[in-house]
Structure 1
Amino acid sequence: MDVVYTSDSCDSDSREQKTVDLGHSNKRHLDDDLLRVSKSKKLAEDIETVLLNHNKLIRVPLSLADFTNLKVLDLSNNRLEELPEVITQCQLTTLIVKNNLLTDKSLPKSLLGTAGSGLKELNLSGNRFAHFPEQVIELRSLKYLYLGGNQITNVSKDIWKLQSLQLLSLGGNLITEIPETVGLLNHLHALVLCDNLLEMLPASIARLVNLKSLLLHKNRLRHLPREIITLRNLTELSLRDNPLVVRFVKDMTLNPPSLLELAGRTVKTCAIRYGVEDLPRTLIEYLHTANCCVNPNCKGVFFDNRVEHIKFVDFCGKYRIPLLQYLCSSKCVADTSSSDPGSEPSSSMMRKVLLG
C-alpha cells in the first residue's frame, strides 16, 4: 500500500493532497489495507483520494466511511455488482466506477447523501445498465456524466434538471430517442451520442449554444434538424457511419412533369402576361407558387416536379454541409458543379443537413 503525496494544481493555496493508492493490486479484498490507514484518525481525515482501480473487488470496502474528507474515489475495472450506502457518506466530488458489473438494481435508492451534495463527476461507463439511472437526476452539482458502454435504451426526460452539466457521454448504448429536454442543458459543452440506434435528433439540440463537441457517428440518422446549423461554437462534429448520404443519393429521382407543370413553366420562363380576365383564379394561384431553380446558371422554375440534388458548402470553415437543393430538371445537376459555391439558396428552397 502506498500513501502518495501529490500537489493539487487546482488549489490556489497549493496545499498537499494525500492519496491512498491501492490500484493494480490484483486483490479481491482491500478492507485490511484501508483499515491500517483509517486507524490513525488524523491520517484518515487528511486523505482526499483513494484509488482502488484494477483489482478484483466484488464489494466496496465499508471502511471508506472512515475517510471523512474523501473527495475522489476510483473503483474502476473491478467486479462490483453493487454500490452500498456507504458511498453516500463520503464528501465525494469525483466517483469513478467504470468497467464493473453494475445493473439497474446496483445503485442506492438515493445518491444524494453527503456525497451527492457536491458530486461533480460520475463515471458509470462500461457496466450493465439497461435504463438511465434516475438517481443521477438528484445530483444537481454534476458537471461530467459518463454512461457510455452500457445497454441503456432511454434517456430520462428529467435530464434538464442537471443544470450544471458540461459533458454528457452516452455513446455505445441502445438509445433510440433523445428527449427534447436535453436542449435545456444550457452549460453543456460536449454531447456524446455515438454508437447508438438514433434515427433522428430533437430540434431542441440547437438551443445548446455553448456546445463545442457533438459526436453522432455510428447511428441510424437519416436527417438532422435544420436548426442545428445555428450551433456556431461547434468545433468537433462526427457523423460518419450514418445513412444520411446514402438516402439522399437514392432519393435523387425525377418523375415526368405533368402538363400543368409544363404549361406553368412556359408561362413563367417566357414571362407571358396574364390576368384575371385570361385565367381562372385557381390557375393564377398555382402560377404564384413557382419556385426558381437554385442553379444560378439556370433561369428555370418548377412547381411540384423537381430533382433533389446535394450541394456541399463550408460551415464555419470546418465542415462540409450538404444542402438538399431543388432543381428544375436533371440537366441542372451537372451544371451546378461549376456554379458559384458562395451562392446559397433561400431557406424555403432547401433542407440543411450536416454530414461531416
Structure 2
Amino acid sequence: MDVFQSLEQGDSVLDLSRLDLDSVDMDGVSEERRRETTRLYLASNRLAVLPDALCLFANLQVLDVSSNGLELICEDVTRLTKLKTLIAKNNRLDAQSLPKDFGCLQLEVLNLSGNRFEELPPQCLKLRRLRSLSVGGNRLRAIPAEIENLTSLELLYLGGNLISFIPPELANLPHLSYLGLCDNRIQSVPPQLTRLHSLRSLSLHNNLLTYLPREILSLVHLQELSLRGNPLVVRFVRDMTYDPPSLLELAGRSIKSRNLPYSPQDVPSHLVNYLDMASKCPNPKCAGEEEMYVYVCVPVFFLSSCALVFVSCAFFTGVYFDSCVRHIKFVDFCGKYRLPLMHYLCSPECSSPCSSAPQSDVDSEDESSVPADRLQRVLLG
C-alpha cells in the first residue's frame, strides 16, 4: 500500500517514522499536500541521505530525521525558510555534516544529540533565534566562547561529552533556564555563572567537582541542582555516614551550653578535664545557648529504589570540643539534589575559610515549613 494513502487531506502532519524505509519518494506527495505539511517525521528508518524533494515542503516547521544513520544534512535543508525545529539525534553526523549556510536558518530548536561531533559546529553558533540546543552524547571536548552569541537560548544540554571546562562566556545568556552539563569531566564551576539570573535547573552530576563557588547562592531562581557522582557529594555522604559527633562531644556541648554545674564529685576527673577544654565557637552566626535542630537526610544506597533516612537531632551550639557538626537539609529526589547551604557550626572548622559563607534564610526553618520553591540552596565543599 502507498504510504501516503492513509493521510487525510488537510492534515498538517506527515508521519513516515519507523517504517524501515531506506528511501522515500517524495514525488508521490501531491503539491497541495506538500504545501499543507508543517511537520514531517522521518525518524527510525534506514535513510542514508535525505529525500531530494525535501526542499519542496515550503511551509515545513518541524523536521525529525533521528535514528537514521545519516552522515550528511543536505544543502537543500537551508531552503526550508520556515523551519523552526530540527531533530537529528542518534545519527552519524560530525563537523563536516552540516551545510555551509546552515546558520541562515531560523531555527528555534536544534537537537544533535547522539552523534559524532568533536566540537560544536560554528554554523550552530550563528542561529540567533535558537531557544533550545541539545548536543549531548557526542565527543565535545570544549564549549566555545562564541556560545554567548546564542542570546535567545533557554535550554542548553551538553551532557555525556568530554568537557572539562566551563567558559565564563556561558554566563552571557540572559534567558538560559536549563543547563545540562552532566556526565562530563568538569572540575570547577566559574563564579561568573551567577549572572544566569533566569537559571532554574543545573545538572552537574557525574563530573569531577570537589567544590562549588559561594557566589552560586545568588542564583535566586535555581530550583534543581543535580550533583550526585561528584567527589563533592561522595565526600559529604561519607563524612556524614562514618564520622558523626561522638556521644561525649554531644553530652559535653549540652552541659556547657546550658551552663550546668559539674565537679569531680559529680563526674569522673577525666570528664571534668574534657569539659574544661570547651572552646567558644568563633562563628558569629552560632546560636550561643539556643537550641538548633539538625535535619539530616541520607541516601540509602543498598535499596533498589530511591530512599532516604531522616535523622533529627538537637545540638546545642556555642561551644565545641573536637567534632565537626554541620547544619544540613539534604534531599535527593531520585537523582535530583536540592540542598540548602551547608554551615559549619561548632567545631574547629568554624574558623576555616569555607565557613565564612553567608547564612541562608532557609537554614533556620524546619523543612516541613519551607515551600518547595525555596529549597534551592546548594552544598558547598
Aligned match of 1:217: 205
Deviations 1:212-248 (A, max 9, x none): 1111111111111111112121222211111104446
After the TM superposition, which residues 42-191 of structure 1 pair with which residues of structure 2 at under 5 Å, given as runs? Answer: 42-91=32-81, 92-113=83-104, 116=105, 118-191=106-179
Deviations 1:111-158 (A, max 9, x none): 133xx1x21100101111111111111100001111111111111101
What is the root-mean-square deviation of aligned Cα atoms in Å? 3.4
| 2:338 counterpart of 1:311 | no
Query: 2:18 & 2:91 partners in 1: Cα distance?
Result: 15
Contact 1:19 1:50 in 2 (8 A): yes
Question: Match of 1:275?
Answer: none
TM (norm. structure 2) is 0.66
Give, in whole Å, the separation in 1 of the partners of 2:7 and 2:203.
37
What secondary structure, in the 3-state scheme, does the structure 2 residue paired with 1:112 have? helix
* In structure 2, distance between residues paired with 1:152 and 1:128: 9
Q: Deviations over 1:42-80 (max 9, x none)?
A: 332222111110101111112101111111111001110
Aligned mates of 1:51, 1:222 — CA distance in 2? 43
Specify the alignment match of 1:10 in structure 2. Answer: none
Question: What is aligned with 1:273?
Answer: none
Alpha-carbon displacement from aligned partner over 1:93-128 (angstroms, at most 9, x marks no partner): 110100101112211223133xx1x21100101111
Structure 2 stretches lacking a partner, 5+ long? 244-279, 289-316, 332-336, 352-362, 366-376
Give 2:214's aligned residue.
226
Code of the aligned partner of 1:95: L
Counterpart Cα distance in 2 of 1:152 and 1:243: 23
1:7-34: CA deviation from partner (whole Å, max 9, x where unpaired): xxxxxxxxx651221111101111x2x1
Distance (Å, rounded) in 2 between the aligned partners of 1:179 and 1:82: 29
For structure 1, the 5+ residue unaligned runs are 7-15, 254-289, 333-340, 344-351
Scaled by the length of structure 1, the TM-score of the pair is 0.70
**Counterpart amino acid of residue 17 in structure 2:** G
Identity percentage over the alignment? 38
Pair 108,310 (structure 1): closer, same or farther in 2 beyond 3 Å: farther
Which one-letter code corresponds to 2:28 in the other structure? Answer: R
**Separation in 2, partners of 1:61, 1:178:** 38
CA contact (8 A) 2:64 2:86 kept: yes
Opposite residue 328 of structure 2, the aligned amino acid is: F
Contact map agreement 1:5 1:18 (CA 8 A) in 2: no
1:188, 1:210 within 8 Å by CA — same for their partners in 2?
yes
Tell me, in whole angstroms, the C-alpha distance in 2 between the residues paired with 1:72 and 1:46.
13
Deviations 1:312-353 (A, max 9, x none): 2589xx932343537553899xxxxxxxx629xxxxxxxx95
Q: Which amino acid aligns with 1:185?
A: L
Matched position secondary structure for 1:134:
coil
The reply on whether 1:354 has 2:379 as its aligned counterpart is yes
Q: Distance in 1 between matches of 2:23 and 2:11?
A: 25
